[in-house]
Amino acid sequence: MMTDLASTTPQSLGRDPMVGLRLARVDGFEPAIALGQDELPAYLRRFTMLFADDATMRRGGIGRVTRAVNAQGEAVALKQLILPTRDEFDDDAAHESLVAKFKAAFREEYECHRALSGLKGFPRLYGWGEVDGVPAIVMEWVEGETLAACARDSPWTMPDAYRRLWRRAWGATCSTCSAA
């Protein structure tokens, strides 16, 4: 489903949708789905040049998620890895090792999401690349509240919120798999 930025953003952001956006060029983009040679150029144009709205940035695991829009006006989520900072006591080798572990974990997150992307209840995944040398995932933008906001506004504790979310996601996955 495409979300038209012009029709949704002014109400949700309370301002002109194109003011203050950062150009995010997704280099080395790898589509999450198999495409024919004739489909690839249009797909790359669709997801390699994005305009990110840093005012919408939220933390998500080891990454930060930002609402972005492509040249066609489609809203997407741009999730970028938060690289670990170099501690003054770290040597270069220790820091590089830590960065490599973060990158591997982020890639594993992408591969897991890729395996689940077609299932009901999981955001559509568009691809993987780098923005300014930092690993990035491009996926469907889903409007709604963050898990932290839901937990804050409800009588549940954070573990309860995660448990309920997991049950809902697992139930959707199981029902989809059993229907196949």
Above 60 in pLDDT, residue 173?
Answer: no
- The single-letter code of the amino acid at 39 is E
Q: Between 30 and 157, where is the model more confident?
A: 30
Q: Which residues pair with 63 in a beta bridge?
A: 60, 81
Strands 75-81 and 134-140: antiparallel
- Joined together, the tokens standing for residue 133 give 């040398």
Return the ∠ at Cα 144 (arms to 143 and 148), rounded to 5°. 135
pLDDT tens per residue across span 45-68: 999 999 999 999 998 789 999 999
Return the pLDDT at 3. 43
- Would the pTM of this model clear 0.85, i.e. be above it? no
pLDDT tens per residue across span 81-95: 999 988 777 788 989
Q: What is the mean pLDDT of residues 133-143?
A: 95
pLDDT tens per residue across span 24-45: 999 999 999 999 999 999 999 9
Tokens 């994005």, residue located? 50
Q: How far is CA 11 from CA 15, 75, 139, in A?
A: 8, 14, 22
